[in-house]
Chain A
Amino acid sequence: MIAVDGLTKSYGTATVVDGVSLTLPDAGVTSIIGPNGAGKSTLLSMVSRILGPDAGTASVDGVDVFSASGREVAKRLSVLRQDTHMTARITVRELVEFGRFPHSGGRLTPDCRASVTSALSYCDLDHLAHRGLHELSGGQRQRAFVAMVLAQDTRYVLLDEPLNNLDMAHATGVMRLLRRLADERDKSIVLVLHDINYASAHSDRIIAMRDGAVVADGAPAEVITPEALEDVYGMPFTVHRLGDDLVASYFR
Chain B
Amino acid sequence: MSPHELTLEGTEAGKAPTRPGRSVGLVRRALPSTRTARVIASLSVLVVASLTVFLTWGVDGHWDYALPRRAEQAIALIVVGAAIAVSTVVFQTLTHNRILTPSIMGFDALYTLFATTLVFFLGANSVETMDPWIMFSSTTVLLLAGATTLYRWMIGDGSRGLYTLVLMGVIAGTLFGSIQSFMVRIMDPNEYDSLLDQLLPSFGALETDVLALAAVVMIAGVAVAFRFARTLDVLGLGRERAITLGVDYRRAVTWLLMLVAVLVAVATALVGPVTFLGLLVANLAYQVTRMHRHVITLTASILVAAVALVLGQALLQHVLHFNATLGSIINLVGGVYFIVLILKESRA
Contact = CB atoms under 8 A, between A and B. Distances in A.
A130 to B, nearest CB: 4
B295 to A, nearest CB: 10
Given A74-B245, A114-B8, A114-B11, A129 B16 contact: no
Interface string A123-144: 0001001100000000000000
B238 interface: yes
A73 B290 CA distance: 32
B292 A90 contact: yes
Given A101-B234, A121-B16, A48 B4 contact: no
Interface stretch (B20-28, B136-144, B181-189, B258-266): B20-28
Contacts of A78: 244
Given A61-B1, A102-B246, A121 B21 contact: yes
A87 interface: yes
Contact of A49 (B24, B236, B243): B243
Given A111-B8, A118-B10, A50 B243 contact: yes
Contacts of B7: 153
B77 to A, nearest CB: 31
**Overall SS of chain B's interface:** loop
Contacts of A103: 5
A165 to B, nearest CB: 18
Contacts of A94: 292
B70 interface: no
Contact of A50 (B5, B21, B25, B240): B240
Interface string B3-46: 11101111101101110011011001100000000000000000
A81 B240 contact: yes
B12 to A, nearest CB: 9
A71 interface: yes
A75 to B, nearest CB: 5
21 contacts: A48-B244, A50-B243, A61-B2, A74-B244, A81-B241, A88-B236, A88-B237, A101-B245, A106-B229, A106-B230, A107-B230, A114-B8, A114-B10, A114-B11, A117-B21, A117-B22, A117-B25, A118-B14, A129-B25, A185-B9, A187-B4
Given A129-B24, A186-B4, 10 more contacts: A61-B1, A70-B246, A77-B244, A103-B5, A107-B230, A114-B18, A114-B22, A118-B11, A118-B18, A121-B16
In the complex, the 10 A-B pairs of residues with the closest C-beta atoms, listed nearest first: A74-B246, A106-B230, A115-B10, A102-B246, A79-B244, A71-B246, A121-B16, A114-B10, A155-B4, A130-B28
